[in-house]
Amino acid sequence: MSAPLLEVAGLAKHYPVKRGLILAKQIGTVRAVDGVSFTLQRGETLALVGESGCGKSTTARLVLRLIEPSAGEVRFEGRDITSLDRADLKAFRRRAQIVFQDPYASLNPRYTVGRTIAEPMEVHGVRDEASRRARVEELLRLVGLAPYHAERFPHEFSGGQRQRIGIARALAVEPDLVVCDEPVSALDVSIQAQVVNLLADLQKRLGLAYLFIAHDLAVVKHVADRIAVMYLGKIVEIAEKRALFANPCHPYTRALLAAIPHPDPRRRGQVTPLGGDVPSPLNPPPGCRFHTRCPFARDICREKEPALANGVACHLAEELPPAGLDFSGGLAPNAAKRLALYAKAAENA
């Protein structure tokens, strides 16, 4: 098989925390991203899901090399992007674009929409000036806006429309990869589905790969092929979407799933929601980082950090009860079955 479009291995970003102005002394380290690995194939969507502060945006910035990693590798079509020279980095930037969370902050208020969308084409020398105009109109139609919108300014648009403009700008240079960093989190719930559907539709038409970031699983339920769940700078579970929804292995994944309101109100509230706050990524808890909030935690969880094996980083993955049921001891049949499937998939890969 050919190399994946994107390959991330052992990626980390640590920020030193200093005290004192002149002779600043390091008093700790924020482990914003702490050893993250995944792959993304052409045309595929990998969702990156986790609570605020778990390192999703930092991962996004590392993947696009907007910031430098403390450790690890990012490979795009097999080439390490941290070792690209200026020309190659520019070529990479054209092929990997981003859609930001805040459609209000990410557009220049003094630029017309047409100029906003044309700018990346100018930067990358895509098409001549005359055909850029036509391309802007084409892109506006593609995202569900109208050609005359090119003459307008961002303040004349709603949040959902601004996000469409942001998407058009990202697509202007015909990327292969689009990192969508919580693209609908700032939008009204009624608008969110429209923008998610647009992104899904564009993916089909244009063969895009998405790294799709969200803080809850509901948003990615339709758009994702695979899902990686992050907690305090690490991936705690990664699985094909169907498997993850049907058979979540990690207690944190289960908690995130339980947080999605069931469409049938009579079936809501069967699962205890997660208590407590996310600990600080400044000196995170020892052992499994999730142990301070985990209802199943034992001594080993407080002492030893679990490795990601067969898609799950949990000492108890093979013993937990089926999701949504009380712990009754013994091996959960579903979890065991899924782990066996993972092992088989890993053999075949």
Ligand X SMILES: Nc1ncnc2c1ncn2[C@@H]1O[C@H](COP(=O)(O)OP(=O)(O)O)[C@@H](O)[C@H]1O
**In the complex, which residues of this chain contact Mg ion (CB under 5 A)?**
56-57
Q: Which is nearer to ligand X, 112 or 185 (CB)?
A: 185
Give, in order, the Cα–Cα distances in Å from 250 to each of 115, 188, 268, 317.
46, 30, 21, 6
Select the binding partner of residue 62 from Mg ion, ligand X, none (C-beta < 5 to 8 A, by kind).
none
C-beta of residue 118 within 8 angstroms of C-beta of residue 108: no
C-beta of residue 72 within 8 angstroms of C-beta of residue 10: yes
Q: Edge-to-edge, what's the strand order for the sheet holding 45-49?
A: 96-99, 177-181, 209-214, 45-49, 226-231, 234-240
Query: By CB under 6 A, which span of 2-10, 49-57, 318-326, 330-338 interacts with ligand X?
Result: 49-57
Q: What is the pattern of x (binds ligand X, CB under 6 A) and - over residues 2-31?
A: -------------x--------------x-
Report if residue 183 touches ligand X, rule: CB under 6 A: no
Which residues between 272 and 331 bind ligand X (CB under 6 A)? Answer: 281
Cβ partners under 8 Å of residue 246, min gap 6: 334
137 vs 143: CA distance, rounded Å: 10
Q: Which is nearer to ligand X, 50 or 175 (CB)?
A: 50
Query: By CB under 6 A, which span of 45-53, 102-110, 128-136, 298-306 interacts with ligand X?
Result: 45-53
Cβ atoms within 10 Å of 207's Cβ, excluding its own: 10
Which residues between 191 and 250 bind ligand X (CB under 6 A)? Answer: none
Q: Which is nearer to Mg ion, 31 or 56 (CB)?
A: 56
Q: Which is nearer to Mg ion, 210 or 342 (CB)?
A: 210
Q: Which residue is nearest to Mg ion (CB)?
A: 57
DSSP 8-state symbol, 305? P
290 vs 306: CA distance, rounded Å: 10
Which residues between 52 and 71 bind ligand X (CB under 6 A)? Answer: 52-58
Q: Which residues bind ligand X (CB under 6 A)?
A: 15, 30, 32, 50, 52-58, 281
